[in-house]
Amino acid sequence: MNDRIIAASWIGTGLFALTAVGDVVTADLKVPAFVVAMAMFVVGTGVFLAALVIAAGRSRDKEIGMGGLFFLQGSAPGDVQRHLLGSLAVEVVVAFATAGAKPYTSLAFGILAPVYGLGLAGLWAAKRGEFGPRAPRPRRV
């Protein structure tokens, strides 16, 4: 699949898993694991907000719900949904598993990393998602 958003999602997920699991195994990757987790949170927050702004623009003529926007329910083809939500699921599992394996360490910041996957899923849907037409609203009298 040749999609930059999907590729970015998996690259970020792979880098996060590599540094977080590497820190659990070797304890030599504290700083890289922290930097990657925080970078994913900061970038993910920006992408999340960008997705909201793009979706707000499209919502003038499309009916966009949060389930369709961030969880791709009915707005994305199955393969796109599997990739983006699969990447998000891996981020969540790695975050909780590594933070649980070494509690009270910098790995706890990994819990913030899945904002990256969620933001990218929202960005994909905001740009390319299929949403139904907006229902006309009754006029107020």
Residue corresponding to tokens 């009916």: 63
Label residue 2 by pLDDT band (50, 70, 90).
low
Task: Please check whether residue 14 is in contact with residue 86, taking contact to mean a CB–CB distance below 8 angstroms.
Answer: no
Task: Please check whether residue 16 is in contact with residue 32, taking contact to mean a CB–CB distance below 8 angstroms.
Answer: no
pTM exceeds 0.85: yes
Q: What is the pLDDT of residues 87-100, one digit of tens each?
A: 999 999 999 999 99
**Average pLDDT over every residue of 35-44:** 98
SS3 133: strand
pLDDT at 28 exceeding the cut of 90: no
